[in-house]
Amino acid sequence: MQIITTEDSAFEQFLALWRDAKLVGKYWANGQIKLVCVTNQYLLIGLNSNPTKIAIKAVKSIAEAESFAQHLLSREKSRGHKVELQ
């Protein structure tokens, strides 16, 4: 995964994608809510509803993005974090 921050020139583009993406689930870690979203091109993870950094992973399809998202949420649950699926 790659981390994009407000200092990156592509941040606004990824923030727009993240806001329009399908929410798959969320998890709580280190006192923060992390939202896991997917598009047909990316898996995106951001903090709360207005992130200052977004983790992205390029994918080949929305099915692949959803599969990665489910795996990530399952892993976070196994680590003892609260997970909520949408």
Report pLDDT digits (tens) over 8-50. Answer: 999 999 999 999 999 999 999 888 999 999 999 999 999 877 8
Question: Mean of the per-residue pLDDT values for the chain?
Answer: 94
What pLDDT is stored for residue 31 in this prediction? Answer: 87
Class of domain 2-85: mainly beta
Tallying the residues shown for the chain, one arrives at 86
At position 52, the amino acid (one-letter code) is T
What pLDDT is stored for residue 3 in this prediction? Answer: 95
Domain ranges of the chain: 2-85
Count CB atoms within 10 A of the CB of residue 77.
15
Looking up tokens 């200052």, which residue turns up?
Answer: 52
- 76: tokens are 């976070």
What pLDDT is stored for residue 37 in this prediction? Answer: 96
pTM recorded for the entire structure: 0.91
What pLDDT is stored for residue 56 in this prediction? Answer: 96
Looking up tokens 């997917």, which residue turns up?
Answer: 38
| Distance separating alpha carbons of residues 4 and 62, to the nearest angstrom | 20
